[in-house]
Chain A
């Protein structure tokens, strides 16, 4: 290279640095749309709007799966036994301590609504299986109780609750 080092590093260096800086800013700004395009597009976001679910066809002891934003949501109409089991547990002994009351809406104790994605590595647990009358994830053996709380296995946290509200006694809006 024949880059000659100038004795007075003033105006020339300023020009070089300014040019380099402007080009650098341009490169960074160009990267923005190239990366931003990976985010969900407008139709995907619009399709993630809240959904209404009618609970009336779900009989006691039954669980259904609905999809919201591509995620399976378990809606379980719990039996008296399941509720009792969930409430009889010593909360302090749980890996992720949470009371059953905190996981259902007041006055709707039989309705357990959870995002059916194992908190370990994202598999889908099977309802009404495992040792705790709740959910069992066959992938790595995580077991959730009838309140969707983690009881056994590698999963670190309880099944998360989706945002939802009762719009009528037998109707919910998820999202």
Chain B
């Protein structure tokens, strides 16, 4: 982007505009003729992928905000409304929630790329610092977005993170009250988080413009780490970088679509499908996977203020990197020692992430402290010293020489594999092990064969109908289904009843309505638009009738419950698209009632269940053989009831599962075709450059 723009509009209107606002010239020089080093590898496409993901997040976010209600009483329900009722709402929400994870995966690769190839070095210091600012803004945005669904993890995550500020001496408590807008996390907090979550992406977009501007002034770094000297070292942005980025984005979309359509909740926490409850804290409060390394650093310091300072320092230290690393050679490719320490650092970050998901006890604490120390040692001592004593291997004379030399091709591929492997570990480590404590006392229930499992899974309608019958005749005595309307049982992908049958079922129920023109509440027969009513008028009544424990709503049970899968099971889960933790757990729980073994002291008022965490559950065994009769001749056994009602609860938790899998298959085929076409087009285009 040096020198005056070479843009010469031919069209009279464009000429007229260009004299007054030279935006055409700006676009032309930035994205068409802009010279890019010709040796860029695929690690460089993550910049384009990030721009694309920012666009996806803003677009889907704006749409979700059209359907979302930022009120403490309504937020959770409005999110479920998006998942169940809004046209393609499930798709938009999963795009957005998984998009956040994809965004962070891409940004971490982008950042490690910068670290490895010395992209922060002179003259790119401001470019790098702007990147650190973007990263901080992303963390704030991601955190506030996670709070919006107002689930248990949202609420308690907000409580914990805002309480970080209480560590500030003297004014901490006042600052936390200021952040909350109340005496605890509540509606004002949710309102302001929504407002800021909507605002910050546009701030990010603004800083991204500065980031790209700075990039285009300094020019792109490249794997050789030497500046372009002649025309031969660069190629024009369009078509060369454009088509390469398009191919990169397409491949990334395949990766994204895998999560989105087949394991959309793999990266989320089941607790967030339980509505926020200020009276109960989840057993473990874990942040989203992308914050885990910093969470580990926070917990490693045995001091409130110290932990907070360490956590923020861990991010801010990045901004000083250009001055901490004094090496002349940019690329670690030519710095044998630095390269080894780079990979050690990558591993340390990943293990810190894994530790962040572990309970803060025993060996985990010790390991966390050592690795936290190493994290800072790497930046503050190792890099400054190493960069001043290490002798770099000879750099290539020019980028053109580097391309002809073909050095490091294989290593790049190997390092790509290593990163993906380790990133996979981090991902699954983050989510899969968050319930390690439960695993100590809870045997893993056997995995069943479900018709809805796998990429082409569908609900077994007969099973759903039997499950509905079990719910109606047994579970409904205590539990509600607040998010299922009578009309839903006639929805495609549901139990397959007709609309008349749905209306008939609704008519069997009495629904409280009113006030009428006399100002009185009254009862009327249910209509298809009504929701399955709760058996108790309110929570207090439910508690009173059940020895103090309110029976939870069952609509989201299959998503909100799960059990520890453990290593290495969770690695396979991602590839096998295992999503049946919840139904397996429910089935097992319903069949897990036994007499307490000798030596087990059962607390008063509870029952022994071998599959329940701690084995003591308040709910008495609800099922016995012969309790419900099925019209289709299925055996009237507890096993059959448990399996059927678990399948039914899976449907109530995810009514759009069939639609999701069907659309996913189409999208995967489309993306495969597109990626192959883009690959060949890219090869054709680049053939001109070699």
Q: Tell whether B238 is near chain A: CB-to-CB under 8 Å.
A: yes
Measured between C-beta atoms, what is the minimum distance from A17 to chain B in Å?
Answer: 10
Measured between C-beta atoms, what is the minimum distance from B79 to chain A in Å?
Answer: 13
Alpha-carbon separation in the docked complex, A141 to B455 (Å)? 62
Q: Tell whether A90 is near chain B: CB-to-CB under 8 Å.
A: no
> Looking at the complex, which one of A3, A25, A49 makes contact with B239 (CB distance below 8 Å)?
A3
Q: Tell whether B529 is near chain A: CB-to-CB under 8 Å.
A: yes
Q: Are B677 and A18 in contact (CB under 8 A)?
A: yes
Give the residue among A16, A42, A46, A47 with the most B Cβ atoms within 10 A: A42
What is the chain A residue whose CB lies nearest that of B677? Answer: A19
Question: How many inter-chain residue pairs (CB < 8 Å) link A and B?
Answer: 78
Q: Are B673 and A42 in contact (CB under 8 A)?
A: no
Q: Are A43 and B81 in contact (CB under 8 A)?
A: yes
Q: Tell whether B674 is near chain A: CB-to-CB under 8 Å.
A: yes
4 closest pairs, A vs B, by CB? A33-B88, A46-B529, A42-B85, A41-B85
Chain B residues with CB under 8 Å of A33's CB are: 87-88, 91-92
What is the chain A residue whose CB lies nearest that of B243? Answer: A19
A22-B674, A41-B86, A43-B81 known, 5 other contacts, Cβ within 8 Å = A15-B680, A15-B681, A33-B92, A34-B92, A42-B86
> Looking at the complex, which one of A18, A26, A41 makes contact with B89 (CB distance below 8 Å)?
A41
Q: Are B239 and A36 in contact (CB under 8 A)?
A: no
Alpha-carbon separation in the docked complex, A49 to B208 (Å)? 49
Chain A residues with CB under 8 Å of B674's CB are: 19, 22-23, 26
A interface list, Cβ under 8 A from B = 1-4, 12, 15-16, 18-19, 22-23, 25-26, 29, 33-34, 36-39, 41-44, 46-47, 49
Q: Are B87 and A46 in contact (CB under 8 A)?
A: no
Alpha-carbon separation in the docked complex, A43 to B63 (Å)? 18
Alpha-carbon separation in the docked complex, A104 to B496 (Å)? 40
Q: Are B673 and A22 in contact (CB under 8 A)?
A: yes
Chain A residues with CB under 8 Å of B63's CB are: 34, 37
What is the chain A residue whose CB lies nearest that of B246? Answer: A23
Known: A37-B63, A41-B86. A1 touches B33 (CB 8 A): yes
What is the 8 Å Cβ interface bit string for chain B, positions 68-93, against chain A (1 contact, 0 not)? Answer: 00000000000001001111110110
What is the chain B residue whose CB lies nearest that of A32? Answer: B88
B interface list, Cβ under 8 A from A = 32-33, 59, 63, 66-67, 81, 84-89, 91-92, 235-236, 238-239, 246, 485, 487, 491, 527-529, 670, 673-674, 677-678, 680-681, 684, 688
| A interface, over-half SS | helix
| B interface, over-half SS | helix
Measured between C-beta atoms, what is the minimum distance from A95 to chain B in Å?
Answer: 37
Measured between C-beta atoms, what is the minimum distance from A51 to chain B in Å?
Answer: 10
Known: A3-B239, A41-B89. A46 touches B485 (CB 8 A): yes
Q: Are A37 and B89 in contact (CB under 8 A)?
A: yes
Alpha-carbon separation in the docked complex, A43 to B85 (Å)? 6
Chain A residues with CB under 8 Å of B485's CB are: 43, 46
Q: Are B529 and A43 in contact (CB under 8 A)?
A: yes
Alpha-carbon separation in the docked complex, A33 to B82 (Å)? 13
Q: Are B236 and A1 in contact (CB under 8 A)?
A: yes
Chain B residues with CB under 8 Å of A22's CB are: 670, 673-674, 677
12 contacts between A and B (CB under 8 A): A4-B688, A12-B684, A16-B684, A18-B677, A19-B680, A29-B670, A34-B63, A37-B89, A42-B84, A43-B85, A43-B485, A44-B85
Measured between C-beta atoms, what is the minimum distance from A136 to chain B in Å?
Answer: 26
Chain B residues with CB under 8 Å of A34's CB are: 59, 63, 88, 92
Chain B residues with CB under 8 Å of A26's CB are: 670, 674
> Looking at the complex, which one of A4, A15, A37, A43 makes contact with B88 (CB distance below 8 Å)?
A37
What is the chain A residue whose CB lies nearest that of B487? Answer: A46
Measured between C-beta atoms, what is the minimum distance from A59 to chain B in Å?
Answer: 15
Chain B residues with CB under 8 Å of A23's CB are: 246, 674, 678
Chain A residues with CB under 8 Å of B236's CB are: 1-2
Known: A4-B688, A15-B677, A37-B66. A46 touches B528 (CB 8 A): yes
Measured between C-beta atoms, what is the minimum distance from A25 to chain B in Å?
Answer: 8
Alpha-carbon separation in the docked complex, A22 to B63 (Å)? 25
What is the chain A residue whose CB lies nearest that of B681? Answer: A19
Alpha-carbon separation in the docked complex, A18 to B679 (Å)? 12
Measured between C-beta atoms, what is the minimum distance from A82 to chain B in Å?
Answer: 25
Known: A19-B678, A19-B681, A42-B487. A37 touches B67 (CB 8 A): yes
Q: Are A49 and B529 in contact (CB under 8 A)?
A: yes
Known: A16-B681, A33-B92. A41 touches B528 (CB 8 A): no
Chain B residues with CB under 8 Å of A37's CB are: 63, 66-67, 86-89, 92
What is the chain B residue whose CB lies nearest that of A34? Answer: B63
> Looking at the complex, which one of A2, A16, A19, A49 makes contact with B527 (CB distance below 8 Å)?
A49
Chain A residues with CB under 8 Å of B81's CB are: 41, 43
Chain B residues with CB under 8 Å of A3's CB are: 239
Chain A residues with CB under 8 Å of B66's CB are: 37-38
Q: Are B680 and A47 in contact (CB under 8 A)?
A: no
Chain B residues with CB under 8 Å of A46's CB are: 485, 487, 528-529
Measured between C-beta atoms, what is the minimum distance from A123 to chain B in Å?
Answer: 26
Alpha-carbon separation in the docked complex, A112 to B84 (Å)? 39
Measured between C-beta atoms, what is the minimum distance from B8 to chain A in Å?
Answer: 12
Measured between C-beta atoms, what is the minimum distance from B596 to chain A in Å?
Answer: 45
Known: A3-B239, A37-B86, A39-B87. A47 touches B529 (CB 8 A): yes
Measured between C-beta atoms, what is the minimum distance from B388 to chain A in Å?
Answer: 43
Chain A residues with CB under 8 Å of B246's CB are: 23
Alpha-carbon separation in the docked complex, A49 to B485 (Å)? 14
Alpha-carbon separation in the docked complex, A173 to B121 (Å)? 75
Measured between C-beta atoms, what is the minimum distance from A16 to chain B in Å?
Answer: 6
What is the chain B residue whose CB lies nearest that of A40? Answer: B87
Alpha-carbon separation in the docked complex, A73 to B509 (Å)? 29
Alpha-carbon separation in the docked complex, A62 to B677 (Å)? 71
Alpha-carbon separation in the docked complex, A23 to B249 (Å)? 12
